[in-house]
Structure formats: C-alpha cells, structure tokens
A and B are shown apart, each in its own frame.
Chain A
Amino acid sequence: MRNTLIMDAGLVDFIEKLPLSKQIVTHIELLRKGVYMLHFLRTADFLPGQVVAISTDLSVPPRLYSICSGEQDEKLSVLFNLKSDGLLTPKLAQLSQGDPVWISTPFGAFLGDDQPAWWIAAGTGIAPFRSMMRSGMANGKTVIHGGRSADSFYFQNEFLSAFGENYIRCCSGEHAEGLYHGRLTQWMQEQDRLSKDQTYYLCGSAEMVVEVRDILIEKEIPIDKIMSEIYF
C-alpha cells in the first residue's frame, strides 16, 4: 500500500464537521438487556466502517459510534451498550421516536473493501462489519464474533444467511447449538493455517483487539495486514 498524506474520505475536513447537527430519532430497539440499536433519518452519505459522534444534548460530550446500517439503507443506525455509570448512554437509552439527538457527519478510516478478508469482532464491535456486509462487501469474508452469552450475537440471522460456515460465533459464557464454546481468542489460537495474504479487521474493546492482534503477530501475520478499530 502506498503511504500518503492524503487521507480517506471524510477526514480532511473533520474539524470543520465536528459541530453537531440536530437529527430526529426514528426508533430505538432493545437487542438484549443493555444493548440498543438507535436509528435516525440518514442525511449524509458515508463509507461502510465509518463512525458518527453522537450526543443527546450539548451539555454531554459526544462519543463515537460505528454505523451499523448499510450505505443504501434509508436509516442510519448505531449500536450502543448501556453503561449505567456513563454520562451519555443512560440518556441515549431513554430516547424514543421523535426525540432530537446531536450527531456529526460520518467520518473515519476503518474502511472495508470487497477483497477476501477476516472480520473479527467482540460484542457491539460487530457494527462496522454489518455496515460493510449490507453495503456489498461480504464477498470472501470470514466473520468471527465473540460474546459472553448466546444472545450477544447481534444480527446473527443476517450473518448466517450471508456467510454460512464462514460465520463463527465464539461464546465464552454458555453452551449452545451452533456456537463454539470458548473465547474468541481461544478459537484464534487453535487456527494453524491463517492466510498471510488476507487482511484482518479487528473491532471491539482495547483488550480484545490487543489480544487478537498479538495472536495474529505470533502466527506471523504481517502488521500490514492487521487493521484495528478500538472503542474508547
């Protein structure tokens, strides 16, 4: 890949775009206890894998959320985990249809393409990969999703339909049919023939991303082939 000072779309004028604009919530879904999907009308184009900054009002610092809807979807959607001691997510969880929220235009450089690759996520880290999948980038992908319980594999029907056996759900907390019982990192450790030519996209907490990245490096995957997006 050619190194360049030219950045991916949406980043150069990011600072100008930082001011948030008011949007209206179209609806909010509870996916499982403490995990929500928030939908807005889409007013800007985006690239699959990008994020938006969101706040409920200008007194709460905005936080970044990966877009989980496809680029052709009518609505723009994000996933979030309710943090009971947080400033923002308890307010987000209280939103309902018609409520205003403050949102930035999409930006970010964790961008997919249609080349064969691995998408590796934990929890709500699956969000950008759903966006990529719904935007026509499913070709040749292997999807590894880690979660503690059987109900933490958000959009699993969509992923099963798109990827079949190339969609692996690693469940650390319980046994269930069709799930690998164990941590995502354990599953990764067990793989002895990982392609060195494909790109590995990682998305989730710092702990997960760092651990998986270390495993990939141990297995001699070049760092050129590892792309990470960390939720902070």
Chain B
Amino acid sequence: MKNPSLFGKTLAEIEEIVASLGAPAFTARQIAEWMYKKHITQFDAMTNLPKSLRHQLAQGYSIELSTAVKVQTSVDGTKKYLYPSTGHTFIETAYIPEGKRATLCVSSQVGCKMGCLFCMTGKQGFQGQLSTGEIIHQIRSLPERETLSNIVFMGMGEPFDNLENVMKSCEILTADWGYGWSPKRITVSTIGIIPAMKTFIENSSCHLAVSMHTPFHAERKKIMPIENVYPIQAVVDLLRRYDLGKQRRLSFEYIMFKDFNDSNRHIQGISRLLHGMRCRINLIRFHPIPNSPLASASEERIQQFREGLVSKGFRTTIRASRGEDILAACGLLSTKELVKTQAPDF
C-alpha cells in the first residue's frame, strides 16, 4: 500500500507527526519549508534534517507528486490541465495568463453536489473530496507556477462543501512556513453555504466571491437548488454583519443568461439586495453546455446591464472570456474524461 502523503499537511499536522517520530518540534517547520518553499520531492533532499529522521519519514510517508495527464492550450494562451485523482477520476486546473497577470483556477472537489443548472461539473455528479495535498498540488506542479499572480477557487466543486481542506490549503498558501502568498491574491468562490461561509470569513483573510446569478429567490431556486436551504437573501444578510469591504474584496458573480436574469428588473433587484454594501459585481458570459435550456445574453445586453449597475453605484466588471476553444468552463474537460466506476443507486 502507498504511504500517506506528507504533502498538504499543515505545520500543526507536521508537528504531530515529528512528535510521534520522537523528533524535535522545530523540524516540523524545516520539513514544511522544504516542501512548500523549496519544492523538493524527496526526503533525501531535506539536508538539514538528521538522516535517521529522513529515513523514518521515507518509511512512513510520501512526497511524490503526480503530473498532469493532459494539457490543452487555447489560442489565447489559457491552458487547461487535467490531473488524476483517486478512483479513475480527474480534476481540472485552468491557467489563465493576461498581460502581467496570471490566474490559476483550482478545483476543490471531484465533481460537485450542488447541481446548478448552468454548470458542466454538476453533470458528472460527485465523486469525492480533494485532499489538501491534491488542492495544493494543482499549484505546486504547475509548470507556470512562478508566473502566477492570483489563485481562485473557482474550478470544479463547491469549496465550502470541502471546507476543512480548503481552509488548510489557504493556510499553507499564505503561511510564512508555506508558500507565503498574500491572502489578497487568493479568492474563494461559493454558492453560499452559510455555516461554512461564516467559518471562512472568521478564520481566513482571503477574498470571497459569491455566486448570485439572480437576486430573486423563486428564480434562483430554478437554477441553483442550494437556494432552497441557503437563500441569497440570507447569504447577504450574513455578509452585512462583517466589514469585509475594507479588509478584503467581496464580489458577486453573475452569469448573464438571455431572457432569464438580464432585465432591468434584475438590475433593480440586485440594487435592492446589495444596497449600501461595499462589493464588486462580476458579470460573466455564459459558455453554453450541452442540453442546457439557458443561453448567453448578448454582448450589447451585458454592456447595458453593466452600465445599469454602475449607474446604481456598484463597481461592475465584465469577466473576459478565456479558453473558449478548449472548453475552459469548469468541468467540461474532466466530464469528457470521466470514467464512472460506481453503479448509481437509482
């Protein structure tokens, strides 16, 4: 049987491990720095550790990393990496260069349980949670890692349905013993799982993005089943309790669907819902997915919608479409590659 991976452990977890091996506590930080700062992949390379400890670690743990099984490159430079996960499943990571910036869109789950009507990942159902190591690995193994300016948890899965591992990932990415990133370069996106969102806000300094897609409860229920239990009004009510705008960025994601959520009534609804909040609204063009009853709003309508929101005082941007020729919307590639191994229970 393969040894458990040490990669993806937090400092506290490594301290427990070294204590169990009878090594001094300070070696935990050394190990973390070897893995996360110096990017070594063999215990033998941890040259400031006693040889006996290196041997013990090698006997009980692994730090080997897998490589992407597939890479697709768009004409616009966007790259989509496909990594193997457990059980013949795959996860996607999208690298999106743009001028001096480069953003990595990472996955937090294999598949997704949320079933949003507009999302391709949801079509493959849910295969499993990614471990902290599997999340961090998407960054660690990226050939373009040194060019990254931002990381967004907007790939496959709902990050707050895998809160513990997402929180640990953010800790490793931002800690001085870890990758040392500023939390202001990391954004976690959620559809609004309220208890987990509360934990995240109170224990992390990373940016938060909330998928809204319509301000209206009855309408949001049609496209996002989560609205049945965690409605957008309650999500916003919770966010109002925190002074997020000063400390970090709060944004609302809004995919523009033709004749569904692109009317002036929706501008009014958003304005009422977010009145007085310090936030940004990010309008997104819809990449059509197979068998979807939804279509993207026209370019003209998206511009008008943006202007309508700006006139209401909201900072509003339109996200550039990237990687359309390689199906860069979340879940499209891995769904094509998915090998189903379990019989469904229905």
B123 touches A223 (CB 8 A): no
Given contacts A15-B237, A147-B345, contact A4 B217 (CB under 8 A): yes
C-alpha spacing A184/B113, complex, angstroms: 19
A206 touches B231 (CB 8 A): no
B346 touches A107 (CB 8 A): no
* In the complex, chain A residues 3-38 whose Cβ is within 8 Å of any chain B Cβ: 3-8, 11-12, 14-15, 18
**A51 (CB) vs chain B CBs: closest residue:** B229
* In the complex, chain B residues 224-275 whose Cβ is within 8 Å of any chain A Cβ: 225-231, 233-234, 237-238, 265, 269, 272-273
In the complex, which residues of chain A have a beta carbon less than 8 angstroms from the beta carbon of B217?
Answer: 3-8, 109
**B269 (CB) vs chain A CBs: closest residue:** A5
A96 adjacent to chain B (CB < 8 Å)? no
In the complex, which residues of chain A have a beta carbon less than 8 angstroms from the beta carbon of B137?
Answer: none
Given contacts A172-B343, A206-B126, contact A223 B195 (CB under 8 A): no
- 1/0 contact trace for A196-232 toward B, CB 8 Å? 0000000011111110011001100011101111111
C-alpha spacing A103/B117, complex, angstroms: 30
C-alpha spacing A152/B346, complex, angstroms: 10
* In the complex, chain A residues 51-104 whose Cβ is within 8 Å of any chain B Cβ: 51, 53, 61-62, 64
In the complex, which residues of chain A have a beta carbon less than 8 angstroms from the beta carbon of B15?
Answer: none
In the complex, which residues of chain A have a beta carbon less than 8 angstroms from the beta carbon of B113?
Answer: 205-206, 230-232
- 1/0 contact trace for A177-199 toward B, CB 8 Å? 00000011100000000000000
- 1/0 contact trace for B327-346 toward A, CB 8 Å? 00000000000000001111
A108 adjacent to chain B (CB < 8 Å)? yes
A176 adjacent to chain B (CB < 8 Å)? no
C-alpha spacing A214/B225, complex, angstroms: 14
C-alpha spacing A200/B291, complex, angstroms: 18
C-alpha spacing A73/B265, complex, angstroms: 42
* In the complex, chain A residues 114-133 whose Cβ is within 8 Å of any chain B Cβ: 122-123
A213 touches B228 (CB 8 A): no
In the complex, which residues of chain A have a beta carbon less than 8 angstroms from the beta carbon of B234?
Answer: 7, 11-12, 14-15
**B127 (CB) vs chain A CBs: closest residue:** A207
Question: Which of B123, B229, B231, B293 is packed against the most chain A CB atoms within 10 Å?
Answer: B229
C-alpha spacing A226/B117, complex, angstroms: 11
B273 touches A5 (CB 8 A): yes
B222 adjacent to chain A (CB < 8 Å)? yes
In the complex, which residues of chain B have a beta carbon less than 8 angstroms from the beta carbon of A138?
Answer: none
Total residues of chain A contacting the partner, CB 8 A: 55
B219 adjacent to chain A (CB < 8 Å)? yes
A48 adjacent to chain B (CB < 8 Å)? no
C-alpha spacing A230/B344, complex, angstroms: 15
A146 adjacent to chain B (CB < 8 Å)? yes
B222 contact from A107, A218, A226, Cβ within 8 A: A226
C-alpha spacing A110/B227, complex, angstroms: 9
13 residue pairs from A and B, CB less than 8 Å apart: A3-B269, A7-B217, A7-B234, A8-B217, A61-B195, A147-B346, A206-B113, A206-B122, A206-B125, A209-B225, A217-B293, A223-B117, A229-B228
Q: Using a CB–CB distance below 8 Å, which chain A residues touch chain B?
A: 1-8, 11-12, 14-15, 18, 51, 53, 61-62, 64, 107-110, 122-123, 146-148, 152, 170, 172-173, 183-185, 204-210, 213-214, 217-218, 222-224, 226-232
- 20 new A-B contacts, CB < 8 A, other than A3-B269, A11-B234, A109-B231, are A2-B218, A3-B218, A3-B265, A7-B233, A14-B194, A109-B221, A109-B229, A170-B346, A183-B344, A206-B122, A207-B344, A209-B115, A213-B117, A217-B291, A223-B293, A226-B222, A227-B221, A227-B222, A229-B225, A230-B115
